[in-house]
Amino acid sequence: MKWETRVTQLLGIKYPIIQGGLAHLAYSELASAVSNAGGLGQVTAMSLESPEALKEEMRKVKKLTDQPFGVNFAIGQHNKRFESFVEAALEEDMQVATITGGNPKAVIDLLEGTNVKKLVLVAAKRQAVKAEELGADAVMVVGQEGGGHLGRDDVGTMVLVPQVVDVVSIPVIASGGIGDARGLMAALSLGAEGVEMGTRFIATKECVHAHESYKRALVEGSETDTVIIKRSLGAPARALANTWTDRILHLEKENIGYEGLKDFISGQTNMKYIHKGEVDNGYAWAGQVLGMIKDIPSVETLLSSMISEAEEIRRKWQQ
Ligand SMILES: Cc1cc2nc3c(=O)[nH]c(=O)nc-3n(C[C@H](O)[C@H](O)[C@H](O)COP(=O)(O)O)c2cc1C
């Protein structure tokens, strides 16, 4: 069956499936595996040490795949200047940039005059309209069931996606809560022309930077095992519920502010859990979709079974 949509055409990929930026996790191994399997893999730029490290990671991807891949820029986070990362990625012939975490204009301006495809992550209709006005080639719409940073409006994917489809003319990619063929087909029914998955890709063999304890928590956990932290800072984000997030939520109730919270929510604390497996000494982002994750397949197995199950759904619809 053909899987062509405006998203596959725009990105030059076989299946309309994109691996989301995953801070401290999604580098060359995962990105190349997703691109080799027919989706769009991505390197997460802003959790790398330096622009040089980004170039090195992109060179590694290019050795592992000849397929297109993206570079994710979460601007406004990690206290790093993103301009030098964008310039480094351009020097390595970046083909696709995804932009989140702040006003995308600065990155879009830097990409002017290049052929780089610009995908902007949004969590509200007004942001999608703005992204289109600024020159985005597509928007990725993240609903509140997703893992990591979310919009402030608490609107789910099911409600947000069709409304964004109605207000923009560029292609829409659905994100948040998608982990299997049913999610893919639902998103396409809502008018999206592709999906982005984050949490599902962590529980794969090629997500080599994720500690086994993290993957196990995703496989064993249920859809009620996440909480939203950092709401008091105006930056809500969904993480696995554990004793560490209990402490964060307790501190947030006391209105302790960024200074009081910063050591609890730092990248270092994130890495304690996700790289070292210190499950009580840190936090790990995850979406509600973890309730549907039951195995840790290779990316190739994940995508090929997702596509064949989606084709089965299509056949049933045609009967
Ligand atoms: C561990 C983790 C780290 C993430 N880091 C980033 C990031 O650095 N940049 C970004 O744009 N999105 C990031 N996200 C969001 C994902 O790209 C994606 O939008 C989200 O996971 C979709 O929801 P899902 O987890 O239900 O698939 C992260 C998500 C998770 C789970």
Tokens of 172: 């829409």
User: Please, which contacts does 231-237 make with residues 24 or more away whose CB atoms are closer than 8 Å?
Assistant: 232/256, 232/257, 232/261, 233/257, 233/258, 233/261, 234/152, 235/149, 236/149, 236/150, 236/151, 236/152, 236/154, 237/148, 237/149, 237/150, 237/285
CA of 118 to the centre of ligand 1 (A): 17
Q: pTM of the entire structure? A: 0.97
* Minimum CA distance residue for ligand 1 atom 8: 23
CA of 134 to the centre of ligand 1 (A): 23
Q: Are strands 148-149 and 237-240 parallel, antiparallel or unpaired?
A: antiparallel
Mean pLDDT of 36-40: 98
Residue 156, Ramachandran bin (φ over 0: left; ψ between -120 and 50: alpha; else beta): beta
* Sign of the CA dihedral with 277 first, then 282, 284, and 288 last: positive
* Minimum CA distance residue for ligand 1 atom 20: 198
**Among the listed residues 145, 184, 144, 190, the one whose alpha carbon sits nearest the alpha carbon of residue 166:** 190
- pLDDT tens profile 72-94: 999 975 556 899 999 999 999 99
- pLDDT tens profile 150-177: 999 999 999 999 999 999 999 999 999 9
Mean pLDDT of 272-288: 98
DSSP at 275? T
Contact 248, 261 (CB under 8 A): yes
CA of 146 to the centre of ligand 1 (A): 7
Closest-lying ligand 1 atom to the alpha carbon of residue 143? 23
How far apart, in whole angstroms, are the C-alpha atoms of residue 202 and residue 191? Answer: 26
Mean pLDDT of 286-292: 98
- Lookup result for tokens 């990316």: 299
Q: At what angle do helices 157-167 and 181-189 cross, to 10 degrees?
A: 40
The whole-number pLDDT of residue 150 equals 96
Ligand 1, from 19, 22, 182: best to mutate by most atoms within 8 Å of Cβ?
Answer: 22
- pLDDT tens profile 173-230: 999 999 999 999 999 999 999 999 999 999 999 999 999 999 999 999 999 999 999 9
**Ligand 1 pocket at CB < 6 A:** 20-23, 25, 44, 72, 74, 100, 121, 142, 145-148, 175-178, 196-200, 285-287, 289
CA of 10 to the centre of ligand 1 (A): 22
CA of 319 to the centre of ligand 1 (A): 36
CA of 21 to the centre of ligand 1 (A): 5
Closest-lying ligand 1 atom to the alpha carbon of residue 121? 11
CA of 64 to the centre of ligand 1 (A): 23
Closest-lying ligand 1 atom to the alpha carbon of residue 20? 17
Tokens of 96: 């696709």
The whole-number pLDDT of residue 76 equals 77
How far apart, in whole angstroms, are the C-alpha atoms of residue 227 and residue 224? Answer: 8
How far apart, in whole angstroms, are the C-alpha atoms of residue 71 and residue 21? Answer: 8
| Mean pLDDT of the chain, nearest integer | 96
What whole-number percentage of the chain has pLDDT above 90?
96
Tokens of 13: 């990929």
Kindly list the strands in the beta sheet with 138-142, ordered across the sheet, starting from the edge strand earlier in the chain.
Answer: 17-19, 194-197, 172-175, 138-142, 117-122, 96-100, 69-74, 41-44
- pLDDT tens profile 95-146: 999 999 989 999 999 999 999 999 999 999 999 999 999 999 999 999 999 9
